[in-house]
Chains A and B, each alone.
Chain A
Amino acid sequence: MPLVVTIASRQFRSFFNGPTAYIVLALVLFSLGFLFWETFFLYDRASLREMFNLLRAILVVATPALTMGLIAEEKRTGTIELLLTMPVTDRQVLLGKYLGVLAFFMVLIALTFPYAITVATLGPLDWGPVFSGYLGLFLQGAAMLAIGLMASTISDNQIVAFFVGLMLIAAFAMIGMLLPLLPVPIASIAEYVSFTYHFDGLSRGVIDLRAILYYLSIALIAGLIALRSLESRSWS
């Protein structure tokens, strides 16, 4: 386990060496600032729904940007060979990488707490949906990051990894919008695989075990595919 932590902490710190992490942080903070003024002037009912929706939209682009380099960059520079000849298993490497980016994502989420607290001072805030909303945000982010990690294992090119990740994540995030266009039997399946369907319940304050299982299974399946892809050493 300590090796996983070593890998995670190196990954976490390395975010601060490149521009991506700063761009993502700036994007989130800027949107929150914008949202704050809008809320302040236009709404009289305190709620974080707007914030959650905006964050989820930002995450569609931000998560593949955060994950694109996880494995792809190590492949490009060749450091993957050092990493994978240390006394660790491929699984530990992926887990470490994943925990590193997940930690960064949690910092990102934590940055929204002051906003939530400010909104709470403006009017009576129903904390139930806030907590379950944050849980949903965390779970959805965890699933998105796992998909991004998977994309990062298939190429030694970060840009390729970014677009593959973006396409897959966007598919899960946006399939909900296509529902009216789909024939009924397919639509009900599509609804079940969409992020929106599961998040909506959580953001209303309903902690549904199925939603939690849904996000965790996506993360697990993506992780297993990533492991297969890494183990194949198909790039080397």
Chain B
Amino acid sequence: MVESDVMIRAESLSKRYGEAEALRDASFAIKRGEIVGFLGPNGAGKTTTMKILTCFIAPTSGKASVAGCDVQLDPVGARKNIGYLPEHNPLYTEMLVTEYLEYAAAMRGIRGNDAKRRIRAVVEETDLGPKFGAEIRELSKGYRQRVGLAQALLHEPPILILDEPLSGLDPNQARGVRELIRELGRERTVILSTHHLPEVETTCDRVLIISGGKIVADSTPQELKRSQGRETLALCLKKLDGFDGDAFVRAVGDAEEIRSVRPVASEEPAELHFEIIPSERGDARERLFHEVVARGGVVLGLERRGGGLEDIFRSLTGGKERS
């Protein structure tokens, strides 16, 4: 990795709030042009990390640099390179959209005709046109989110840090914003946090999973699935008098294509359910089918389960929730 390609670097970041440790020894590096999804249960430390990167709060220990600027030694330099959408998207609601963008542009040192040009550009990018002259307090959540994004884009920052950019948006709005982020991510480095897992698979090049303040995974969604994914098969059989479920489990369990099999409780009284973990050899599905038929059983359903990010997320974060 060429050093100049690293846009964001965190080294052993820790943050304590009094007694509570919000972030423990987190290290990662993000390269130019990457879209990184920040995943983790509530209270994992995602927002805390973003606040440190935007130089809003200082880490208790550790170092971070953004676009080559140390967040503690040169916060203003770091911030110049960042467009930030904070969690809950705070805005001066009494202002008009235009006024707010003019103010934000001035705060970014963009004035006069440059400001007009940039405001026009971001309004177009975020589709804010129809609400340009509206008071922010009158806007729906989706439009407010766009105002927040427009503000973050004004100065054409090489880095975007977006804390839950899609929360609270309806599916249509969310799709629009997601496409916008994809678009933006072509030339920029983007970090976004989300609770929406499919989001990460479709939008991000890379995922960082954080749990209890620790980074527990850092790779591409595909790689993560390959290394962590535990695909299971869900088999559903018809309950027949002549079919011995226990004997079936014993026989199948010995097969080389299958690592383990266990019966699971069924809500349907007329059905038998099994969960099968395949081994790496052969095709477990074929073997299962033959075994069932050979014993005079009837297959009602056989489907692949899990192995998706959701399961990986659950296993890596231990289903833990912190307040």
A88 touches B82 (CB 8 A): no
Q: Report A81 CB to chain B, min CB distance, Å.
A: 5
Mask: chain A, 65-103; 1 = CB below 8 Å from B; 0 = not = 000000000000111111011111100000000000000
B94 nearest CB neighbor, chain A only: A17
Besides A3-B109, A86-B79, 15 other A-B contacts (C-beta < 8 A): A2-B109, A3-B106, A6-B103, A10-B92, A80-B90, A81-B90, A82-B84, A82-B86, A85-B84, A86-B104, A87-B107, A89-B75, A89-B76, A236-B51, A236-B57
Is residue A217 within 8 Å, beta carbon to beta carbon, of the partner chain?
no
Is residue B16 within 8 Å, beta carbon to beta carbon, of the partner chain?
no
A87 touches B79 (CB 8 A): yes
| With A85-B84, A87-B79, A236-B51 as contacts: A79 and B91 at CB distance below 8 Å | yes
Q: Report B80 CB to chain A, min CB distance, Å.
A: 5
Give the chain B neighbours of A79 by CB distance below 8 A: 90-92
B75 nearest CB neighbor, chain A only: A89
Q: Report B114 CB to chain A, min CB distance, Å.
A: 14
Is residue A233 within 8 Å, beta carbon to beta carbon, of the partner chain?
yes
Q: Whole-angstrom distance between the alpha carbons of A188 and B54 in the complex?
A: 50
Q: Report B23 CB to chain A, min CB distance, Å.
A: 14
Q: Report B65 CB to chain A, min CB distance, Å.
A: 16
Mask: chain B, 141-153; 1 = CB below 8 Å from A; 0 = not = 0000000000100
Is residue B235 within 8 Å, beta carbon to beta carbon, of the partner chain?
no
B84 nearest CB neighbor, chain A only: A85
Is residue A31 within 8 Å, beta carbon to beta carbon, of the partner chain?
no
Q: Report B301 CB to chain A, min CB distance, Å.
A: 49
**Highest count of chain A CB atoms <10 Å: which of B84, B90, B93:** B90
| Interchain residue pairs A-B with the least CB separation, the first 10 | A78-B90, A6-B106, A85-B54, A86-B107, A79-B90, A87-B79, A81-B86, A17-B94, A87-B80, A87-B76
Using a CB–CB distance below 8 Å, which chain A residues touch chain B?
2-3, 6-7, 10, 14, 17, 77-82, 84-89, 233, 236
B57 touches A233 (CB 8 A): yes
Q: Report B117 CB to chain A, min CB distance, Å.
A: 19
| With A85-B79, A236-B57 as contacts: A78 and B108 at CB distance below 8 Å | no
Q: Report B281 CB to chain A, min CB distance, Å.
A: 54
The A-contacting residues of B in range 45-90, CB under 8 angstroms, are 51, 54-58, 75-77, 79-80, 82, 84, 86, 88, 90
Using a CB–CB distance below 8 Å, which chain B residues touch chain A?
51, 54-58, 75-77, 79-80, 82, 84, 86, 88, 90-94, 103-104, 106-109, 111, 151
A78 touches B107 (CB 8 A): no
Give the chain A neighbours of B58 by CB distance below 8 A: 233
A5 nearest CB neighbor, chain B only: B106
Q: Whole-angstrom distance between the alpha carbons of A7 and B108 in the complex?
A: 12
Give the chain B neighbours of A7 by CB distance below 8 A: 107
Give the chain A neighbours of B91 by CB distance below 8 A: 79, 82
B79 touches A236 (CB 8 A): no
Q: Whole-angstrom distance between the alpha carbons of A81 and B148 in the complex?
A: 12
A88 touches B76 (CB 8 A): yes
A233 touches B56 (CB 8 A): yes
Give the chain A neighbours of B93 by CB distance below 8 A: 77
Q: Whole-angstrom distance between the alpha carbons of A6 and B108 in the complex?
A: 10
Q: Whole-angstrom distance between the alpha carbons of A80 and B93 in the complex?
A: 13
Give the chain A neighbours of B94 by CB distance below 8 A: 14, 17
B109 touches A87 (CB 8 A): yes
A85 touches B90 (CB 8 A): no
A77 touches B90 (CB 8 A): yes
Give the chain A neighbours of B151 by CB distance below 8 A: 82
Q: Report A218 CB to chain B, min CB distance, Å.
A: 29
Give the chain A neighbours of B80 by CB distance below 8 A: 87
Give the chain A neighbours of B88 by CB distance below 8 A: 78
A86 touches B108 (CB 8 A): yes
Give the chain B neighbours of A88 by CB distance below 8 A: 76, 107
B91 nearest CB neighbor, chain A only: A79
Q: Whole-angstrom distance between the alpha carbons of A136 and B320 in the complex?
A: 62
Give the chain A neighbours of B107 by CB distance below 8 A: 3, 6-7, 86-88
Q: Whole-angstrom distance between the alpha carbons of A229 and B108 in the complex?
A: 25
